[in-house]
Structure 1
């Protein structure tokens, strides 16, 4: 599965994208736990405030992740 980080999430992760292997039946919450464990507490804190797209559609933490999915990690954006 592919993960793409944007803005502050990319900074916290130290990469803009990566591939992650998860077991069949994994959820978005499982992915987030794995990412936080692998990349450290700075990313885990950012992930707690992010929204996510699963193959371009809004996703919730309990959503299952199909094989080959792409998850976009979108931190909160400030604007004016």
Structure 2
């Protein structure tokens, strides 16, 4: 049971990849902790200020378990218009 994590812009650079899979069934907060541990402080810093989409919808409750098959997009703050 997995989900897909996709990284954009500065998150992509910090993670060193465009996407990866992770175990489903955990909350977004738990997932972010695992990703920060896996990739280090550079990504952890991005995750602290990023926004997250779950299957294209903004995630506002980071404690809800993420089901298998969803895609989590990591969107760091963007500059410009």
Aligned residue number for residue 23 of structure 2? 21
Indicate the RMSD between aligned Cα atoms, in angstroms. 1.1
In structure 2, the partner of 1:76 is 77
Out of 8, 13, 38, the position equivalent to 1:6 is: 8
Where does residue 68 of structure 2 map in the other structure? Answer: 67
Give the match for residue 43 of structure 2: 43
What is the TM-score of this pair, normalised by structure 2? 0.90
Tell me, in whole angstroms, the C-alpha distance in 1 between the residues paired with 2:12 and 2:23.
19
Normalising by structure 1, we get a TM-score of: 0.91
Runs of 4+ that moved beyond 6 A: none
Aligned length: 78
Instruction: Report deviation, 1:58.
Output: 0.3
Task: Show structure 1 runs of 5+ residues with no match.
Answer: none
- Extract unaligned runs of 5+ from structure 2: none
In the TM superposition, what is the alpha-carbon distance from 1:21 to its structure 2 partner? 1.8
Separation in 2, partners of 1:41, 1:30: 16
